[in-house]
Structure 1
């Protein structure tokens, strides 16, 4: 999915997950090749998160905004990461 020599996104990504969740595994496989900063949080370790996200996992948060619940779209993920990179990129000198 990631092109050779293409740098990984510097976006901060959090994946809320739980044990035995095949969709969570799928989300991780899509995100890992594209992003260098990923945090995994098991919702069952925190009752508040378990209540908040119960049947919605995986939940993928990019730079503090929840972007996916349940299933991750590869095309939309790439577009969101490119958009986030554009927000932090410094303007090129003229």
Structure 2
């Protein structure tokens, strides 16, 4: 199964921990998968996302940053 959700994060980030918990709960409900990409050590990702992590993408498009709303994530996954 290909992941529809991508979470860009950094180790030790408490907002990333919160976002991961929301994403995992929504994925558990919907049967979707997610992948997590650490920006640590990647200069390009650090430059792009360094001040906005966690950043979530759904189907390859940026969806949220800093906080993840379960309602908004469910709506995005259902096409709404």
**TM-score under structure 2 normalisation?**
0.83
CA RMSD of aligned residues (A): 1.7
Structure 2: segments with no counterpart, 5+ residues? none
**TM-score under structure 1 normalisation?**
0.72
Moved over 6 A (4+): none
Deviation at 1:49, TM superposition (A): 0.2
Between the two structures, name the one with larger relative contact order (CA 8 Å, sep ≥ 6).
2
Q: Which has the larger radius of gyration?
A: 1
How many aligned positions are there?
Answer: 75
Map residues 1-94 of structure 1 onto 2, 5 A cutoff: 12-35=4-27, 36-83=32-79
CA distance in 2, matches of 1:74, 1:33: 8
The answer to whether the Cα contact below 8 Å between 2:7 and 2:54 also exists between their aligned partners in 1 is yes
